[in-house]
Amino acid sequence: MRAQPTAEAVIGGVTGSLKEPLTLLLGRYDEAGRLWMVARTTELTTAVRRGVGRRLTPAGSEHPWHGRNFSAGWGASGELEFRTVKPHLVAEFVADTAVDASRYRHPVRFVRLRDDLTPHEMPLFTT
């Protein structure tokens, strides 16, 4: 079996409910401290939804993505409906190599939460 390289990013939002998120919206900070969306996960399994959902904290209007719109993408039209969460959890994921302007072009696969990393230990977002 071939080893697949992984990467990490901050969980900044979710689709579905906070208690059992369907997908995760992942971001990285730039040098100025702005949080940019870099990836969206594929749908999470039921067990992962519940486990991650227990750790999420809703964010208020102070969240960097409050009032932002993201394209639904990947074959869907319109805007993505999502909920912001406090960006304090780091997710490890597997992705293909299709990266465009520091954003993953295809959905990524969630691997696990990385309690040993903080959001500011992630690689910086660059354009």
CATH of the domain at 63: 2.40.50.140
Cβ of 44: how many Cβ atoms within 10 Å? 22
In the chain, the number of structural domains is 1
- 1 falls within a domain: no
- 87 falls within a domain: yes
- 62 falls within a domain: yes
The pLDDT tens digits for 36-76 are 999 999 999 999 999 999 999 999 888 888 878 777 665 55
- Average pLDDT score over residue span 104-127: 89
Can you give the C-alpha Rg of the chain in angstroms?
Answer: 14
- 105 falls within a domain: yes
Give the domain extent around 10.
6-120
- 127 falls within a domain: no
Cβ-in-10-Å burial (0-12, 13-18, 19+) of 111 comes to middle
- 126 falls within a domain: no
Band of the pLDDT at 77, cuts 50, 70, 90? low
The pLDDT tens digits for 17-26 are 999 999 999 9
Please give the pLDDT value at position 73. 63
Band of the pLDDT at 11, cuts 50, 70, 90? very high
